Each structure stands twice: as C-alpha cells, then as structure tokens.
Structure 1
Amino acid sequence: MADAATEPAIDAISALVPATLRALHAIEFASRHLSPTSLPRIIDALAGRNDDLAPALAASRALEWPGRLAPVRDHLERAAEAAGEALAGILAAPDASQPIIAAYRSLRGYARACESLYPLAAHLRPVSHFFLEQPARADTALVDRIAAADPTREGVGFMHVGGPSGTRGAFSLYVPEYYDSSQSWPLVVALHGGSGNGGAFLWSWLREARTRGFILIAPTAAGSTWSLMEPEVDGPRIDRMVEDVANEWNIDASYKLLTGMSDGGTFSYVLGLRGGCQFTHLAPIAASFHPLLMTFADATRLRDLPIHIVHGAQDWMFPPEMAQGAERTLKEAGAAVVYREIADLSHTYPRDENARILDWFLPDKA
C-alpha cells in the first residue's frame, strides 16, 4: 500500500495518465482525418477533449513528488505538455495565415509525447495498453509476455541510431522487449513523408510492432525528403541500415516489408521495383506513381511481387487516379497487387490500415 508521502503522487498519476492518453487519442483522430476541407469539423470534434489535461498537469507541477518517483513525474509531465501543445495548436490553426500547415505542424507534438510516455509502459498498465493494438489488449498471454520481459536489457525497446531522433541520414529502431535471438523476426522499414523524419514516423508503427512481434526501422532521409530523382543517395543508406540491424538481431529474410507515406511511399516504389532489392513485400501509401518508374523496374523481380497499395479517394496532393494507374500497370507487369482505396481518406497517414497491411504481410500472425 502507498504511504502518506506517495498518495498525492499516485493521485497525480491517476489524473495525468488518462488525461494524456485521451489527448493522444484525439491527436490520432485529427491526424487521420485532417485535410483543408475537414479542419473545421475536426476543430468541432476536438472541442473539450483536453479540458482535463491542463488542470492535471498543473496539479502535478504544484506537487512535491517523492524523489524516487521523480522520473515518473518527468516522463508524464513532458508527455502531457507535448500532447497539450499539439491539441492547442490544432485548435488554434484556423486563426493562422495558413491553417492547414499550422495544423499539420501541430501534429509533431504527438511523437514527442509518445517518446516521453513510452518508458512508463513497463510500469503503468494503461500506458502499456495504449502501445498495443486494441484487440490485443485483452490477449492475456501477450500482456503477460510483455510484462515478464526486461525492458532495460540491451538491444530492446526504441532507440535512435546515428544521432538524436530525426537526425538526417540516421534511423530510429524498435525491437520488441520480448525479443528472443533464437528465432527469426520479420522486419518492417517505414519511410516518412516529405519534411518528416524517422524518429517521428516510428510511432506510426510501434504499436503494431510491439503487438505482433516484428523489428521496425524508421530511417530519416539525408535531405528534406527522399532522393526520388537520385536513389543512389538514400537507397544505399537504407540497405546499410538493414544490414547493420541484421548483424545485431535475427531478421527473417523471407519477411521484409518496405512501406512509406507520400514521398516515402513513392521511394518504396523507386527502390522496391528494381532488381537486387532485398525487400520481399512493398506497401506504398498515399504515394505518387509515374509510368516512367517502370523503365527502371526489373521484369523478373516484378513477377509475383507482393505489393499492397493504399490510397485515399479524397487525396488532394496525389489524386487516386494515380494509384489506380499504379495498380493496373503493376498487375500487367505480373505483380501480386492488393489495392485499397479508402473513401474518407485524404493525404494523411491511415494508421487504421496498419493491421490490414500486416494481416497481408504476416498472415500467420493475424
């Protein structure tokens, strides 16, 4: 039982954790549905969603926490602050000179909040459940397996390789805490969109990696976006990242997925259609596709190559006709194409499609 000195801190945790998680879910909702035309509706939907966050954060900051709980306080308060700033930025976006740009920028706080919050997953069940796919939260065997794992051992959890989160040309990595070197693990390499970075995009896939048991690499482009016209810039870097990870962890060479959003999806075409590509599956999302890409494609590789295309019917940057053309062209070349056009999706990342992509990529883990 808690002593008198810790009871106020426990009360603070009990208020701050659910408030922060509700804010993060609200940001996920906004991120999934954001577009120039939907912004006013999103503002209406978010109204009041973070009313309890600021008071909970203020109460935590006013409290004299016991020294042994100071790390918990620091992680929680940083996460709450980042989530609160993100929501406040979205709500204030209509008053900005470029509302949609302001709203997109505000979403960056989500990754900062997740990075601050994740270390508490080993200690707080609601946080652990947040970083699991929803159906798996009732999977007692998985929950117990995660709880029994040592999150402090070397080589597990999330990490940034080659520099701090978002360093150009570096990458972020997640290895499930229950990693066992005696078995081989599927690999997902997820490429961020233009002006993004791997440190942020990692959190678009970490929940699924932790649930289903695969290793996740989220590279950061050497420039402001992927070298679409000069694949020799970023392509070999990605290959080296995969090689370095495979040297340290047991990767299943039969299950290596290359996926990406927007420019990252386009770059998955650029790399993935060429001969000698090491990836077994491709999943471009909200990507641009031009028939000229086929002039660099390898006909032998394309034959029966599994490709899962996801695109939004409301995409205002890359019209869905572009993705429909990709489906036709790649099928004619012999690829095994799955095409998903989502009626309410704009040019945003559809995290709700991750499970469907993984059911296709890893049917034995579905």
Structure 2
Amino acid sequence: MADEAAIEALAALVPATLRALHAIEFASRHLSPQTLPQIVETLAGRNDDLAPALAASRALDWPGRLAPVRDHLERAAAFAEETIQGLRAAPEAPQPIVAAYRSLRGYPRACEALYPLSPFLRPVGHFFLEQPARSDADLQARLAAADPTREGVGFMHIGGPSGTRGAFSLYVPEYYDPARSWPLVVALHGGSGNGGAFLWSWVREARTRGFIVLAPTASGSTWSLMEPEIDGPLIDRMASGVANDWNVDSSHQLLTGMSDGGTFTYVIGLDAACRFTHLAPVAASFHPMLMTAADPDRVRGLPVHIVHGTQDWMFPPEMAQGAERALRQAGADVTYREVADLSHTYPRDENARILDWFLPTPR
C-alpha cells in the first residue's frame, strides 16, 4: 500500500513540477517591466495543482528506500512553487521588475534539486534534453548506458558551494568519454548573478549535444569590466584546469555571456591572449573604445555571434548594432541576431542557434 501511495504521489508531483518549471522558463524569456502584468495574468490558475501535490507528498509516509527520490522531488517542487508565487506577487512590490528577477532565483535551485532524478524518471530526463532529441534512440541509449555516479560527470561546484565568489560550476555529460575531445562552453552570468545559477541555462543543450559547460562566478558583485586583469586570468585558469582534467577540443571553445557577462566576453575575448575560439555575447553593452584595445590580428576572422533584443530596456539595440559594424570593419566573422520580442533577459531559445553556429556538425 505504501508503494502504491508513493507512486500516486510521484504521478501527481512530477508533472506538476515540470509544468511549473516550463511556466517559469516562459516567464523568464518574456520578462520586462512592460510585460510583467501580462505574465502574471498568464500564470494565474495554470499551476494550481503544484501546491496540493506537494502537500500530499509531504503528508505521505513514503517507503524508506524512496526517501532520496522524495527529498529531491519535494525540494524541486518547493523552489518552483516559491518562484511562481514570487512572480505573481511581484507587481505589488515597490520595485516590481526587481522583485520578479529576484523570484527567478528559485528556478536553478529547483533544477539542481531535480536533476539527479533524470536517469530514473523519464519525464525528468526528457525535461533536461532539447525537445527534438527526446525521441533520439541513440542518445537515449548513451544516457541509459552511462553511470551517473562515476567521478567527473554530471554537475559539480568547484572552489566552494554554488555561487561562491571566484569559484565555478561545471557540467560534464554523463556519457563523457575521454577518448575523444569535447567542445567547451564558458558561460558568464549577468550582474549580481552567479555561475551556479547560470549553469542551468546550458545543461539541457550540453546533455543533448555532448559538450562541457563551465560557469564561473565573478570575484566581485559583477565582472571586473574596468579591470579585466582581475577576472580575465581567473576565467583562463578555470578553463585551463578543466582542459587538464577533461579532454577539451582546443578548436571549439566558446565564450558567451549575458548582460555584464556578454560585455566581459567582448572585453577579454578581443585580447590577443584569449584562448577562446568563438564569442557569443548576449544582451551586452558595447562601447567603441573596446575596439581601441582589441588586437587586430585576434579580431581578423574571429567568429562572433551577437544576440540582442529589440525591446532591451537596459542596453538599447543600437549598442549591438554598433558592435556588429565595428567588428565587421575590423574583419571579424560576425553573425548578428536581433530578436524582435526580446527584452533584457536571457533567451534560452537562442542556445540552439548559437550551437548550430558553434558546432556545425553533429557531435
């Protein structure tokens, strides 16, 4: 009877949690000061099954052997519920958009709690894959054959707990094979963010396509934009350490980032000593003075993929347009994407395009 009750609890809580996480992704992608009221209206009533399912699970006497499953699932559900409630309450806060962004911090915490269940619960495993790959039999076979408990795979925090200043978070696909080289994506968070949270913007794609993600946390509250010698060498040491411990493809190393992270991608990515082969700044600020410090030989032929929102209220799209012109004139190989409905937020739906550009052939 206890097993049956636990199965019923799982059958209710898993889909409710995943629906909530998808709703949070939708809200995050479309969030802006102007759209917040519409987002709250869209969320109303759509995730009302999560709180009852969580309460029912907490009230249940689960079998002892399922305690780890219960712990991961209930923590993920609680973070998702907290995030949904925070978004709904944001319009009444003194600074609504700040409250909305703050509430989104629950999303990566929910993902981190939920991810260990991905090898065991098919809906969870599918959530952490790109949608077209969920029916890929070869990928499913690789994942099924992989040991998620072996050392050096999955997500990990190095140098301290998630979000520790000057430390980093890392994801290595569970089917990692040291016999071949693996592309590396280094993803820089925005101002006041941290690598432990921003990592989850890329795990789904990394698990699907087979590459390593390194997400550093700035040594200060944001990247040292005016003093690149602080965080620049830090990022390089992190990438070098990963390349020492895992087989990294030196010809496919992408530096990308959101907002201040995108700006810092320009700052260190245009330097002659930069190790990264591709740059993909997103929603970034750009000043023409950056080009005066850039190395001409480094910029010439450098693959750069710029993504910016037409509706960006923090860094107007004219900044990105200026970056495109300046880089093209300097000889860079520029791909420019201006997204009509995008504000100043991270567009996870652009990851696939960035990766198709960065990794043009299947891995």
Task: Tell me the TM-score normalised to structure 2 length.
Answer: 0.99
- The C-alpha deviation readout for 1:31-72, integer Å capped at 9, x for no partner, is 000000000110111111210000000000000000000000
- The C-alpha deviation readout for 1:264-299, integer Å capped at 9, x for no partner, is 000000000010110000000000000000111000
Paired with 1:147 and 1:350, the residues of 2 have a C-alpha distance of: 30
Residues 219 and 231 in structure 2, CA contact (< 8 A), matched pair in contact too:
yes
Aligned pairs (5 A) from 1:114-153: 114-153=111-150
Aligned pairs (5 A) from 1:312-327: 312-327=309-324
| Unmatched segments (≥5 aa) in structure 2 | none
Structure 2 residue aligned with 1:199: 196
Paired with 2:298 and 2:91, the residues of 1 have a C-alpha distance of: 47
Structure 2 residue aligned with 1:73: 70
- The C-alpha deviation readout for 1:327-363, integer Å capped at 9, x for no partner, is 0000000000000000000000000000000000000
Paired with 2:190 and 2:157, the residues of 1 have a C-alpha distance of: 18
1:64 aligns with 2:61: yes
Structure 1 outlier segments of 4+, above 2 Å: none
Residues 21 and 80 in structure 2, CA contact (< 8 A), matched pair in contact too:
yes
Query: Secondary structure of 1:323's partner?
Result: helix
The one of 148, 152, 163 aligned to 2:160: 163
Paired with 1:135 and 1:316, the residues of 2 have a C-alpha distance of: 32
Structure 1 residue aligned with 2:97: 100
Aligned pairs (5 A) from 1:180-329: 180-329=177-326
Letter in 2 for 1:152: T
Paired with 1:263 and 1:140, the residues of 2 have a C-alpha distance of: 39
Paired with 1:271 and 1:256, the residues of 2 have a C-alpha distance of: 14
Residues 2 and 61 in structure 2, CA contact (< 8 A), matched pair in contact too:
no
Residues 166 and 216 in structure 2, CA contact (< 8 A), matched pair in contact too:
yes
1:354 aligns with 2:347: no
Paired with 1:286 and 1:106, the residues of 2 have a C-alpha distance of: 21
Aligned pairs (5 A) from 1:330-341: 330-341=327-338
Task: Tell me the TM-score normalised to structure 1 length.
Answer: 0.99
Paired with 1:44 and 1:297, the residues of 2 have a C-alpha distance of: 46
Shift of 1:365: 2.2
Paired with 1:330 and 1:239, the residues of 2 have a C-alpha distance of: 23
Paired with 2:2 and 2:341, the residues of 1 have a C-alpha distance of: 51
Query: Secondary structure of 2:118's partner?
Result: helix
Paired with 2:120 and 2:319, the residues of 1 have a C-alpha distance of: 46
Query: Secondary structure of 1:321's partner?
Result: helix
Letter in 2 for 1:230: E
Structure 2 residue aligned with 1:29: 26
Paired with 2:13 and 2:362, the residues of 1 have a C-alpha distance of: 34
Shift of 1:23: 0.2
Letter in 1 for 2:122: R
| Unmatched segments (≥5 aa) in structure 1 | none
1:109 aligns with 2:114: no
Paired with 1:169 and 1:342, the residues of 2 have a C-alpha distance of: 32
The one of 343, 346, 362 aligned to 2:340: 343
- The C-alpha deviation readout for 1:197-221, integer Å capped at 9, x for no partner, is 0000000000000000000000000
Shift of 1:125: 0.4
Structure 2 residue aligned with 1:6: 3
Paired with 2:141 and 2:127, the residues of 1 have a C-alpha distance of: 15
Paired with 1:179 and 1:291, the residues of 2 have a C-alpha distance of: 41
Query: Secondary structure of 1:244's partner?
Result: helix
Paired with 2:198 and 2:334, the residues of 1 have a C-alpha distance of: 25
Structure 2 residue aligned with 1:52: 49
Paired with 1:49 and 1:24, the residues of 2 have a C-alpha distance of: 12
Query: Secondary structure of 2:19's partner?
Result: helix
Paired with 1:71 and 1:236, the residues of 2 have a C-alpha distance of: 40
Paired with 2:344 and 2:362, the residues of 1 have a C-alpha distance of: 29
Structure 1 residue aligned with 2:38: 41
Letter in 2 for 1:219: P
RMSD: 0.7
- The C-alpha deviation readout for 1:111-136, integer Å capped at 9, x for no partner, is 00000000000100000000000100
* Residue-pair matches, total: 363
